[in-house]
Structure 1
Amino acid sequence: MRRGTFRDDTVDYAAVGATHAPDLMQYPPEHSIPAENAWRIGSGAERFRTAGDALLSWTAQRAAGLSVDDVRPAPGPSYSGVSFDAEGNAIAPSRRDVEQRFDSEGLPYAGAGMTVHLRGRVAGMRADAELRVISVTEDARRIGFVLGTVGGSVVKGEESFDIEWREDNDEVWFTVRAFDAPSGLLYRTLPALVKRRRRELFARYLRAISPLYATPL
């Protein structure tokens, strides 16, 4: 198991980590538009590992037509995140070094605290943004990470990406959750464009991780 979490004042929104809130769709952060979708992308351990590796190596973003540039690692050591003992008491996060992995092109895998710049177009409009990797999770049955906006985007907010291998039926699911608060003038004037942009991003992410378009939730 590997967990990493990094939080500081560089993100440009307040509700850090809210994409993992159970009630996100009912009670999104103020002035933001929530979104969520999940897709069954196969079954078994091999599918889980392959999808998880693709996710952490930025396949969803790059295959969606976005370039991943200016990758900067987190300053200082990483943290394992908060866990709990058998009595449910929180255990303080421990500091440790995590070996950085790279894909075949030399691009670092997602790591907690890392900053990246995405560039491209979505639904015919600019999709440039600087983003911070808020957290990374690699468990026996869940792999994922959370991205938060730092600046330069037409929206402010967060995206979470999770690959889950379910114990009860052996299925592998890909889930994306997000909340977007319009910051660009056009998006503030026409908030429907935020939903359009999000729908297009979700469709691209699915094509990237599961080209066969598995069964939607």
Structure 2
Amino acid sequence: MTRLLNTGRSTLNYPDRGATARRPLPAGYNHLHHRTRIGHGRAVFETAGTAVTTFEAHRSSGMRIRADNGAVRPGTRVRVGIGVGPLRITAPCEVIWTAYEPTRTGFAYGTLTGHPECGEESFLVEIDAAGAVWFTVTAFSRPNAWYTRLAGPLVPLLQRGYAARLGRRLRALARAA
């Protein structure tokens, strides 16, 4: 069962809270759906699920992550950093929903005031009936800062590249376990 949070204290910078848990994604945004097969079997599923929900997958891909809690839960505040020195961009987010289920593990976070984009992104590990383990990134976003507007169509390309990188890193993490 997917747990969705609505605390009323959030400063999300978009109105479509929880939309990555539903279809279709809202109109007026760039949409991303990237799926990667990361392995086979319950051990791979468990390892990958833990890596996603503790931000280990994000950190191993080069992101700097600061979070309120160790494992994600609705309401967890997250600051995602990319870049170095004066070129570092910090993006504040809040976990919107989580899934800790027998065949699905993951979460979605939404962008907060101050994020260079506005929208939501989910990271979900699933095991199918045949035992194949998949990692899916689903997102909807649009520019929210002058530099993301200036970058135009480059931003969705970078997001797709990052989703693919996360899938590769998660596959490697699961294989190493």
Check whether TM > 0.5.
yes
Unaligned runs of 5+ in 1: 74-107, 213-217
The alpha carbon displacement at 1:121 in A equals 2.8
SS at match of 2:112: strand
TM-score, normalised by the number of residues in structure 2: 0.86
Please tell me the residue identity of whatever aligns with 2:68: R
Runs of 4+ with deviation above 3 angstroms? none
- Over alpha carbons, which structure has the higher Rg? 1
For 2:75, the equivalent position in structure 1 comes to 113
Distance 1:139 1:55 in 2: 14
SS at match of 2:14: coil
SS at match of 1:16: coil
Is the 2:34–2:160 contact (alpha carbons within 8 Å) kept by the matching residues of 1? no
Which deviations, in whole Å up to 9, do the C-alpha atoms of 1:150-181 show, x marking residues without a partner?
Answer: 132221111001111111x2111110001111
Choose between structure 1 and 2: higher helix proportion.
2
Is the 1:145–1:161 contact (alpha carbons within 8 Å) kept by the matching residues of 2? yes
Is the 1:133–1:145 contact (alpha carbons within 8 Å) kept by the matching residues of 2? yes
Work out which of the residue numbers 169, 179, 185 in structure 1 matches 2:146: 185
TM-score, normalised by the number of residues in structure 1: 0.71
The alpha carbon displacement at 1:16 in A equals 1.0
Residues 1:14 and 2:18 aligned together: no
Distance 2:170 2:127 in 1: 14
Work out which of the residue numbers 36, 39, 42 in structure 1 matches 2:36: 39
Work out which of the residue numbers 44, 47, 51 in structure 1 matches 2:48: 51
Distance 1:18 1:3 in 2: 12
Across the aligned residues of Structure 1 and Structure 2, the Cα RMSD in angstroms comes to: 2.2
How many residues align structurally? 170
Which deviations, in whole Å up to 9, do the C-alpha atoms of 1:2-44 show, x marking residues without a partner?
Answer: 75321234211111111223222xxx332x1011110111111
Work out which of the residue numbers 164, 168, 175 in structure 1 matches 2:126: 164
Is the 2:34–2:164 contact (alpha carbons within 8 Å) kept by the matching residues of 1? no
Is the 1:5–1:113 contact (alpha carbons within 8 Å) kept by the matching residues of 2? no
For 2:104, the equivalent position in structure 1 comes to 142
Unaligned runs of 5+ in 2: none
Residues 1:206 and 2:167 aligned together: yes
Once the two structures are aligned, what percentage of the paired residues are identical?
Answer: 32
